[in-house]
Chains A and B, each alone.
Chain A
C-alpha cells in the first residue's frame, strides 16, 4: 500500500530524477515499510516521506540538469540542432489537477455562500427578465393612506379631489378619486429607485400603475419591479392617445385596485 502510494507521489519528481533514482527510491520505501510495521511506525514513515517530499521537490526542480548542445547538423548550409522534448505532460496528472481545481473552486463557493457575513453570493440578476422573476409575489411593506377621503359608501368621494396621495416610507403614490385607494400592494425594495425625471423621490411599485399627467391623460403601466442602479422594468399596457412623457410633467403614480 505504502509502495503504491509513493509510486504515485514519485511522479511529482522531475523526469531526470525518476529515470535515475525512481527504482531505488521505491525500493527504499518498500524496505522501510517492511521493517517499520505497526500504526505508529507507519505514521512516522509517512510523516518522513511527506516532509522529505516537501523539502526535496523544489530542490530537484531547481537543479534540473542542463545538457550542453552541440550543433552538428547542417540545415541550408548552416549549423543547426534539434530540440528534444523529454515527455509531454502526464494526462493523468492533468486530470488530477483539473479535478482538484474544481473541488477547490466549489469549496470556496460553499464557504462564501454559507459564511453568513457575505451579503450575497451573486449580484442582482443581470437580465430584466430575471429582475421581474425575482420580485416577491407578496409585498413586504404594506402602507396606509394619509387622510383617505371617502364617501358614506366607503368609496372615495368623487369630485373631492382628482388625486389622492398616500405614502409608504419614502415612496409617494396617489390614486384617482374614482377608484379605491390601493391597499397592501406597494412593494418597495431595498434602496431601489424608480428614476423619475425631475424628481428627487423614488417609488417602487409592484403591479399595475397609472400615470396621470397634468392634462389628466393617463398611461397604464405595468411596473413589475424597480431594481437598483436605476434599472426598472416597465410594460406599457395601452398608451393613451396623444400621451406624451415629459420631464416637466408633475405626475404621480397611481395604482388602481
Chain B
C-alpha cells in the first residue's frame, strides 16, 4: 500500500527526502529546510508534513531517531528523522529524472536567465 502512495512520488514526499539527504532533522526543521530549498514556494503544513512522514516511514524510506535531548516529558521530545539507503536511492532516482528533464528543457531553450 505505501508503495502505491509513493508512485509517483508526491512533491511533499520528494522535498522531505531531499531535505533529509544532508542531515537528520525534526519536523519543524524539515519544514524550514523544504521552504529554503524551494525558495519559499513550498511551506509544508503539519497535516501534510506528518502525513508524508508516516507514509515514508511505512515505506522504510526514512527512519525515526530518538532525539529526546534529555527531556523526560514526551510532549517536549522532538522526533528526528533520517534518510535510509532505500530513501536515498529513491531520491537520487527522482533527481536524476528531473536532471534529464532539465537537459531536455535546456536543449529546447525553454529556460531563460541565469538557470540556463
Contact = CB atoms under 8 A, between A and B. Distances in A.
**Bound pair: A and B?**
yes
Contact of B46 (A20, A28, A59): A28
Interface stretch (A48-56, A126-134, A137-145, A156-164): A48-56
B47 A52 contact: yes
A57 B27 CA distance: 18
Interface residues of A, number: 25
Contacts of A27: 27-28, 75, 78
Nearest to B26: A24
A21 B50 contact: yes
A25 B47 contact: yes
Q: Describe A's contact surface by its main secondary structure.
A: helix
Contacts of A28: 27-28, 31, 46, 49
Contacts of B53: 21
Given A20-B54, A21-B50, A23-B74, A56 B28 contact: no
A17 interface: yes
B48 A55 contact: yes
B71 to A, nearest CB: 12
Interface string A15-47: 001001101111111011000000000000000
Given A28-B31, A53-B45, 6 more contacts: A13-B47, A21-B53, A23-B75, A26-B46, A28-B28, A52-B46
Interface of B: 5, 27-28, 31, 43-51, 53-55, 74-75, 78-79
